[in-house]
Chains A and B, each alone.
Chain A
């Protein structure tokens, strides 16, 4: 079956620190991979995506590379800011006969302190 496992939080970093949030997946077939971000009081927003092996998704300084050999899609940012404090969700999308089905990780809470 399809599932996503991401590192548990919470994660607390100082401003300008390097961020890694690990995500691994299990999938039948060839899924697309996504990172969503949820700021306090808001819904899930797409942060970045990758649709095939070795693709790198990037946005707002965040990056993640689709690694088929390790079934991973780790989120990284070189220098975090206080405004990056949020919950981050790794997700995969697998095609089905009736549309795309999404599977989410449990979310990782990030707090960046000045």
Chain B
């Protein structure tokens, strides 16, 4: 079964450094997402991406964050200047929904990247 893959599985970085988290969504999917989960807390929506542009973003997704789909297969999340509070598990997800049936289609998640900011 096709799956979403994320690399690296664990990233340790120093405060103020830039990090790029990488994801390869399922190949025929159209919608791409980033979520994060701070240890012991809720899974929080960061951003959704469709047709090569951001479609929605949360309050968490401030100017420090950006997303790209540089080559038609990878989907990246960049944090420009990491803060201690960015330490979390970051999940990439994709969906094959179109707008007519969008809310019925499940998200398919990767295994996540654990980001530790020291």
Contact residues of A with B, CB < 8 Å?
31-32, 34, 36, 41-46, 49, 51, 89, 93-107
Contact = CB atoms under 8 A, between A and B. Distances in A.
Nearest to A96: B56
A100 B102 contact: yes
Nearest to B32: A99
Contacts of B56: 96, 98-99, 101
Given A36-B109, A100-B97, A104-B44, 10 more contacts: A44-B91, A93-B102, A95-B99, A99-B31, A99-B48, A99-B55, A99-B56, A101-B45, A102-B33, A105-B42
A43, A93, A106 — most chain B CB neighbours (10 Å): A43
Q: Is the interface of A mostly helix, strand, loop or mixed?
A: strand
Contact of A32 (B44, B45, B104): B104
Contacts, number: 77
B45 A102 contact: yes
Interface of B: 4, 6, 31, 33, 35, 41-45, 48, 50, 55-56, 91, 93, 95, 97, 99, 102-112
A34 B95 CA distance: 14
23 contacts: A42-B111, A43-B109, A44-B43, A44-B107, A45-B109, A46-B106, A46-B107, A89-B43, A93-B104, A93-B106, A94-B103, A95-B99, A95-B103, A96-B102, A98-B48, A99-B97, A99-B102, A100-B31, A100-B104, A101-B48, A102-B107, A104-B35, A106-B41
B45 to A, nearest CB: 7
